[in-house]
Chains A and B, each alone.
Chain A
């Protein structure tokens, strides 16, 4: 079947198309060149409408144990946002941490076609994939968490060579079916189990004698040498601590030019100036990102309102439990592998710290020059639920709206931000880079986030609207693999996306020592730890898409 989208204004940064009127042809789920003598079986007249690839969220907590604890922790937050079933949709609940079905529906209804879970604990990866298996509409994938797992830390203490580390990293990403590697508070989750309540970049884990700086460098090197396209995904040390801007700058310096992605960098950009000893470090962070081309960031913007923070960083979550709102929270130590912490938060515009956090995030967005190295996230649900993205896009694209919002926040916070003096407004093409082309590139996806020949036809069509929030919250059409799945902002068909993975090569002999380790210290057999392909595909809905490592042909 040949489908034609006629007359849309296309923003396709991957192919350097910036707001040009262009017809798009779709056949067998993919975009094709205009065929010579074929009439389309189906034509959509989208004259003058804005056309982009389906959006990609490269950091959103949509699947995995801690997210499910967050759901269970907050029944009152679900009660305010029930979603009824229809003939084509399952029932579920929204708000801060929506149920899996509602997650898929709401993302698709905003024009998203892929989302990546950034904190897949290897030992909990099965759950992450099962939950994502129940997220309809979207492609998905996960970054596998390493760096506080005892096997890796033992290797570091024993000063195993980089090759051995690489083999272990590759083995783990394959066993857990991941597309990238993440490190969370490097070594800090482990340190918390040894009763260290904080861990600076150059502070040693008391048991392993290893610093976060060592861990960062070792894992970032492994990613580079294995050819994994997504740079090491780093949730840095000292999240949320006033003064952590220095930790972040030191971390950037510490990786010696290796490719690294700093996630939710807003939470890591705090100074200690001013009457309240809390200030914006955004300018310094942006300057460093602009200078260091090896770095990329996503922001982790906060929005005002109720949410629940769900993080692998048990150490920092424990430290923040005192400000839980409502006052209930969960911390877990997990399987000599990782940990997690769930702390409900209510960000308030009249709270000085929250108001300044909001401004810091926006400053980072506006001060980082290269749109290919910065990404639009709220670290869902930690800064805000993903459903706030259209509002965030308006804040970025509309200076007068931004200044109107700025006028309403805590007056002392307003004094502490340079936001009012920043004139930049994001262009349509830049939004397309942040949420499509750039996101696909940095996660190493082939054939997504772009609208060229042979790309998968994940396409979103919007009606141009001066009010960017209204424009981006309700696309006219969303196509997934060439099929229309959303019309006028409503799901019209439920489909199931693929799971993106990478499979770097490694020396199989790594399994010899791992098997011994599992037998001696773990509570499951190594063979039962590894996730097989059929676990993802056997329900008849799931599929796996393997992306090449650097230089690899698939």
Chain B
């Protein structure tokens, strides 16, 4: 049995890198600094080792050849999931380029709300260490942060020491929209977060009014979506008095039509606060299942985030057209590759009667057996690698913790690409 310290996690999105892990053969136990997300993700036992074709165990070589055959025959293949490490994503892009495939990250429908806002007007954002050391006012919009990240408050707001705040427990936390599901946002001195609750669908209106108040525009109603204007005005004033306010949201949680406009409203409000003479930053939450990694690698290799295609031999980006679910619904797909190296419960969406290849974490259970299933190792457990944290700046170096013999995403996808050529 060996103990490994300072283990980084690709699962929680916040890049926790202080886990202590015990490895006994291929079984793993998180002994320190785990959480409800990281501990089960690390401790999940290996199930399958052998690839399957048509439900029958085969060698890796046979599975790869069959996968290549399916892709080669296709007029329009799609690669979904895209949940892997940097090298896995590099191999995925090379395969997609060669095969003329669509690349669609599984979280893009949420992330698209951020990209559309960013590509239209931009934003002013910050990263975790700035929050940890500077933030004195933290506003959470439309998201249950502790459900998203159980350790966020403990690590980045209620940290004992900070470089620029004398007393971190005096930080103020405000929720707009969803109320927190637990007490993580309550300060060590028992100060509860201020909550202005409203339905998600009302957030566009509420944020529009909050921005108007930040800009000192007259607002002629007394309340919006059940929230008193006087209460919103207090938040606007606090934002303009804070030393370093931070406004956070999770694009994935803003699940209503044209939520990108709400993201944009919020980002423009942050700019307005800066224009008023104090500092303020936005902080988009994400970073799970390799979504930032997929967008980063796709971004530097093609210039576009990870909902794009190579069908015409050039990279083309469209956040609406290349949504694989709508492509399935329109009957536009004749081969489907699902790549999910982190989460065995994240099964491929049902694409209809389409030849399907699944390259995924060992242990995935299917309602309908895919044509090809290749179990792979998990980055940060079975092989080393790199993954991006939610703030998109820090790439963590994932460690290899055990010898499972499972191939990496990159090895499998590169082999499929090579089989396409031969």
Interface positions of A (Cβ within 8 A of B):
63, 65, 67-68, 71-75, 78-79, 82-85, 90-93, 97-101, 121, 123-124, 126-127, 130-131, 134, 150, 154, 192-195, 207, 318, 324, 327-337, 342, 520-525, 527-528, 531-532, 534-535, 538-539
Contacts and interface: CB of A to CB of B under 8 A. Distances in A.
Nearest to B281: A333
Given A91-B315, A336-B129, A528-B396, A328 B296 contact: no
Interface string B311-325: 011111100000000
B126 A523 contact: no
B129 A93 contact: no
Chain A CB within 10 A, most for which of B18, B310, B392, B395: B395
A334 B393 contact: yes
A330 B393 CA distance: 14
A336 B130 contact: yes
16 contacts: A72-B119, A84-B312, A93-B314, A126-B397, A130-B386, A134-B90, A154-B163, A207-B164, A327-B121, A328-B119, A520-B161, A522-B129, A523-B128, A525-B17, A528-B8, A538-B384
A444 B121 CA distance: 41
Given A99-B315, A335-B130, A535-B386, A75 B303 contact: yes
Nearest to A530: B397
B129 A521 contact: yes
Nearest to A522: B129
Contacts of A123: 129, 393-394
Interface in B105-119: 115, 118-119
B394 A523 contact: yes
Contact of B314 (A83, A100, A207): A83
Given A130-B86, A330-B123, A524-B15, A91 B6 contact: no
Contacts of A336: 129-130, 133, 163
Q: Which of A126, A332, A520, A538 has the most CB of B within 10 A?
A: A332
Contacts of B17: 524-525, 528
B163 A84 contact: no
Nearest to B396: A528
Given A335-B127, A525-B18, 20 more contacts: A124-B393, A127-B296, A130-B300, A130-B386, A134-B300, A193-B130, A193-B244, A328-B120, A330-B124, A332-B124, A333-B127, A333-B281, A335-B130, A335-B394, A336-B129, A336-B133, A336-B163, A521-B162, A523-B14, A523-B132
B328 interface: no
Nearest to B6: A525
Given A91-B97, A521-B161, A195 B392 contact: no
B97 A85 contact: yes
Contacts, number: 194
A195 B156 CA distance: 21
A333 B15 contact: no
B122 A342 contact: yes
Q: Which of A121, A134, A329, A331 has the most B CB atoms < 10 Å from its CB?
A: A331
A68 B129 contact: no
Contact of B115 (A72, A92, A192, A337): A72
B164 to A, nearest CB: 7
B134 interface: yes
Chain B interface main SS type: mixed
Interface in B1-34: 6, 8, 14-15, 17-18
A357 to B, nearest CB: 23
- Chain B interface size range: 35 or more
A79 B314 CA distance: 10
B185 interface: no
Nearest to A84: B313
A82 B315 contact: yes
A127 B388 CA distance: 9
A37 B274 CA distance: 73
Q: Which of A74, A97, A126, A532 has the most CB of B within 10 A?
A: A126
A524 B299 CA distance: 25
A131 to B, nearest CB: 5
B314 A126 contact: no
Given A335-B394, A524-B17, A90 B304 contact: no
B329 interface: no
Interface in B31-83: none
B127 A528 contact: no
Contacts of B296: 68, 127
B84 interface: no
Contact of A334 (B119, B130, B317): B130
B122 A523 contact: no
B118 A73 contact: yes
Given A330-B118, A522-B129, A528-B17, A90 B397 contact: no
Most interface-central of A83, A130, A324, A527 (chain B CB within 10 A):
A130
Contacts of B274: 318
B292 to A, nearest CB: 11
B118 A332 contact: no
Contact of B397 (A150, A195, A335, A528): A528
Given A84-B314, A539-B87, A335 B393 contact: yes
B149 interface: no
B137 to A, nearest CB: 14
Nearest to A66: B393
Contact of A73 (B18, B122, B384, B394): B122
Nearest to A124: B393
A72 B395 CA distance: 18
A126 B395 CA distance: 6
Pairs A-B, 7 closest by C-beta atoms: A82-B314, A93-B303, A78-B303, A84-B313, A328-B122, A335-B129, A329-B122
B2 to A, nearest CB: 17
Contacts of A74: 119, 303
Interface string B79-101: 00000001100100010011000
A67 B299 CA distance: 10
Interface centre among B18, B304, B305, B386 (most CB of A within 10 A): B304
A337 B129 contact: yes
Nearest to B8: A528
